[in-house]
Amino acid sequence: MKARIAVIAGDGIGPEVTVEAVQVLRAIGARHGHDLELIDAPFGGIAIDLHGDPLPPATLELCRGADAVLLGAIGGPKWSAPQLKVRPEQGLLRLRRELGVFANLRPVSLHPALRNSSPLKAEVLEGVDLVFVRELTGGIYFGDKVRSATGASDLCAYSIAEVERVVRVAARLAMSRRRRLLSIDKANVLETSRLWREVTERVVRSEFPQLQLEHMLVDAAAMHLIRRPRDFDVAVTENLFGDILTDEASMLAGSLGLLPSASLGEGPRGLYEPIHGSAPDIAGLGLANPIGAILSAALLLRHSLGLEREAAAVESAVAAVIDQGLRTPDIAAPGTSAASTRACGAAVIARLHD
């Protein structure tokens, strides 16, 4: 097949992990006879430096015209002073909104060989395999932000339609797994959460009657996620809760650096990014884990290009590399020598099979 992929590597460790994911895509293209056109564009802090805008019009146009977008990470101390008016994060939020990618899938599973990399006990982690579906283009992230001499406010708003569409994505996913859907909210306090709960009930009961639906308050969910993570399967939640809970959930897999994400809208075009940040403290040192970025490329192959076999080949190559013991510092076993970002990417490519 022929596809055009926008590559917006961004800041910090973004470029070095993204280049590994790009190499994997090139290798997949070559092995399976796909013509994958990968086009780089500035985004985030680097785009502020170059163009005064974290999402320059040409980058947005490229992303709109692409079949998929592969993103690295954005931000860093240079662009985070509180008095700055233009921030890299604004570009990311605008891109998500402009592309209409309202459902952010964040799968978390534990590779058995990494059970000792997590700060949690191995027996608690056994069999963890869950997916968060985070609403991505609404809620407090996008409501009016006001600052006055005496205070500040951020509006959290959701429309019925915004809740319905993300719940449908989560429910379809749950149907393909254990047929259980957990909806996380704060309905004991927030009006938006009461709406969320009502809409979720209605959509699931009427359109997915085979699903077992459960509601949980976000504070309890934060606790149960580390107390009994095996019980989680598909969890759907609003933007801010999803942001927080997925960083927490990443510890179940052993490292934030391992986790990919797919942001999807109504059509096949998606935005794919590791869930980690730009980690400016280790940028350029070859210490970053490229697996989150590489697995994001696998999700891109699956969800935007419909290349399931190729996606699975990337995922099993990653699993083989972890099994073999080749690991970046974040997941290296104590006393073993860690591999570089580059070496990890190269090892994944070496294990791609047909």
Catalytic residues: 141, 186, 219, 243, 247
What residues are paired with 152 via a beta bridge? 147
> CB atoms < 10 A from the CB of 320, how many?
16
Among 135, 243, 315, 330, binds ligand IPM (CB under 6 A): 243
- Return phi, psi of residue 99, to 5°: -80, -10
- φ/ψ of 5, rounded to 5, equals -120, 125
Q: Is 335 left (phi over 0), alpha (psi -120 to 50) or beta?
A: left
| 350 contact partners, CB below 8 Å, separation of at least 6 | none
**Residue 75 vs 329, nearer CB to Mg ion:** 75
> How many residues lie near ligand IPM (CB under 6 A)?
5
Q: Which does 317 bind (CB under 5 to 8 A by kind): ligand IPM, Mg ion, none?
A: none
Q: Which of residues 318-347 bind ligand IPM (CB under 6 A)?
A: none
Span 292-321, contacts to ligand IPM by CB under 6 A? none
24 binds, options ligand IPM, Mg ion, none, Cβ within 5 to 8 A by partner type: none
**Residue 282 engages ligand IPM in binding (rule: CB under 6 A):** no
Least distance from C-beta 147 to ligand IPM, angstroms?
A: 19
275 is an interface residue for ligand IPM by CB under 6 A: yes
**Contact between 326 and 343 (Cβ < 8 Å):** yes
What radius of gyration, in Å, describes the C-alpha atoms of the chain?
A: 20
Exactly one of 67, 243, 310, 315 binds Mg ion (CB under 5 A); which one?
Answer: 243
For the bound state, the minimum distance from the C-beta of residue 92 to ligand IPM, rounded and expressed in Å, comes to: 5
Stretch that binds Mg ion, among 27-35, 66-74, 240-248, 340-348 (CB under 5 A): 240-248
Residue 38: its H or E element: strand 35-40
* 330 binds Mg ion, rule: CB under 5 A: no
- Binding partner of residue 89 among Mg ion, ligand IPM, none, CB cut-off 5 to 8 Å per kind: ligand IPM
Query: In this chain, which residue has its C-beta nearest to Mg ion?
Result: 243
21 binds, among ligand IPM, Mg ion, none (CB under 5 to 8 A by kind): none
The DSSP line for 223-265 is HHHHHSGGG--EEEE-HHHHHHHHHHHHHHHT-GGG---EEE-
**Least distance from Mg ion to the Cβ atom of residue 247, Å:** 6
Query: Contacting ligand IPM (CB under 6 A), which of 89, 233, 248, 323?
Result: 89
Long-range contact pairs involving 156-161 (C-beta distance under 8 Å, separation at least 24): 156/190, 156/192, 156/240, 157/192, 158/192, 158/195, 158/196, 158/238, 160/195, 160/199
CB of 253 closer than 8 Å to CB of 118: yes
The one among 36, 55, 70, 92 contacting ligand IPM by CB under 6 A: 92
- Cα(122)–Cα(277) distance, rounded to whole angstroms? 26
User: Which parts of this chain interact with ligand IPM (CB under 6 A)?
Assistant: 75, 89, 92, 243, 275
